[in-house]
Amino acid sequence: MSGKYRWDKKYLYWGITAFAVIAGSIAFYLLLSKWPGIKAALTAILRALSPFIYGCVFAYLFIKVVNYFERAFLHRLGERLFPKNAVRAFKAGRIFSIILTLASFAVVFGGIMWLIMPQIYYSLSGLVNNMSTYYRTVITWIDRFFDSNPELEAMAKTLVGNISDNLTKWVQESILPRTQVIITNITSGVFSVVREMFNILIGVVASVYIMYHKETFSAQAKKLLYSRVKPRRANRVLSSIRFVDRACGGFIIGKLIDSLIIGIICYIVLTILKMPYSALVSVIVCVTNIIPFFGPFIGAVPSALLILLESPMKCLIFIIFIIVLQQIDGNILGPKILGTRIGLSGFWIMFAILLFGGLFSLWGMLLGVPVFAVIYAAIRNINTRRLIERDLPTATADYLNISYIDPITNSPVYKDPVRTVDKKPARRKK
């Protein structure tokens, strides 16, 4: 043989790539074939870690209030109690801040429950007791509505009768024979509720530990990040995390405060107007208002139907009030509380709710908007960075009348030639 064999690294790279693709395909196939077992294992792990998950959520919700109390006066209180020991002064201020935060939330939550729960109980009791009256009212409305058309009246009554017969048959044939199973499920549900309450209690304890050592946990996370990733990428990761905190955390907390205020205003006004089920309707409006865009409509429909059974005129007044209240919330109260944390137009908010709501039901509707805002901002930042690298304009307005971009000079050519002389496109500084 003439010449020596020459080693080429590219063949090694191709072999490693091919092996990685084959191994990844096999792993993906095994993952799909074993998915029920993997899902059960993940569910068991999440169930075991649920107290710590609750703790992280509570700590995230409480930490801003703890920081406020600590900066406002409790840190100075700790310095006055321990003027010669900075460490003990800091610990005292932190402990007092956590205790005051938990006490404040407990007082607010307990006060709301103490005021609202009896009213909700009376509303539900009245609703159940008046079901027969409401049924007769609906039948009377049907009689009046179809009085001039006996055929439609007969069809409607037949339909109502069929529904009643099918419901009775379903109870006799499906519910009663499975009474033992239902009782077992109810018992299991009670135990599940008790277990979740215990997990929540443990989560509160875990949140106290997380809030007390928040600087240590933050430092450990940064240490791990910088040990695994180059500084430039680590800085981008930290910047992205801070943005996620501002977008998601600010939106969620702001939306909770906004919905609470809307619920209180709704309860006060409905009580003044002497509306039926004012407490129950206010709770429905408060809870559904957390969902952006569609929330007010989701809460207004069942509430209006409840009031309609009592009085059509009060139902009309309630609808007018809800429209006015949502206009105040959307144009005055919401922007004041939420500000510009999301940065999405109404079209993208509706898109996010429909997309994530269809994929993840209620949780998708609640968290879809801030999650999509983060994705939208990430795509926008990547796109802006690519445009800056290519020395192209970054403002959307500069692309309104662009015909094409000269590949040689890298300059936009506009449909209106006067614009290229009068105004240069805006470019971000490097």
Rounded average pLDDT over 61-77: 84
* Residue type, position 58, single letter: F
pTM of the model: 0.63
Residue 371 lies in a domain: no
pLDDT tens digits for 70-122? 888 887 888 888 888 888 888 888 888 899 989 988 887 787 777 777 766 77
Residue 196 lies in a domain: yes
Phi, psi of 84 (to 5 degrees): -105, 5
Per-residue pLDDT at 1: 47
Q: Is the pLDDT of residue 245 over 50?
A: yes
Per-residue pLDDT at 40: 80
Residue 209 lies in a domain: yes
Based on the structure, what is the number of domains in the chain? Answer: 1
- Percent over 70 (pLDDT), the chain: 77
Residue 373 lies in a domain: no
Contact indicator for 279, 267 with CB cutoff of 8 Å: yes
Q: Is the pLDDT of residue 421 over 60?
A: no
Residue 19 lies in a domain: no
Per-residue pLDDT at 9: 63
Provide DSSP, 14-75: HHHHHHHHHHHHHHHHHHHHTHHHHHHHHHHHHHHHHHHHHHHHHHHHHHHHHHHHIIIIIH
Please name every residue paired with 412 in a beta bridge, in sequence order, or none if there are none. 405
Which of these ranges, 168-182, 269-283, 309-323, has the smallest mean pLDDT? 168-182
What's the whole-number average pLDDT of the chain? 77
Q: Is the pLDDT of residue 423 over 60?
A: no
Residue 44 lies in a domain: yes
Q: Tell how far CA 65 is from the center of its chain.
A: 20
pLDDT tens digits for 342-358? 666 667 777 777 787 77
Contact indicator for 353, 294 with CB cutoff of 8 Å: yes
Contact indicator for 239, 261 with CB cutoff of 8 Å: no
Contact indicator for 344, 376 with CB cutoff of 8 Å: yes
Please give the residue range of the domain that contains residue 116: 37-130+183-228
Contact indicator for 258, 338 with CB cutoff of 8 Å: yes
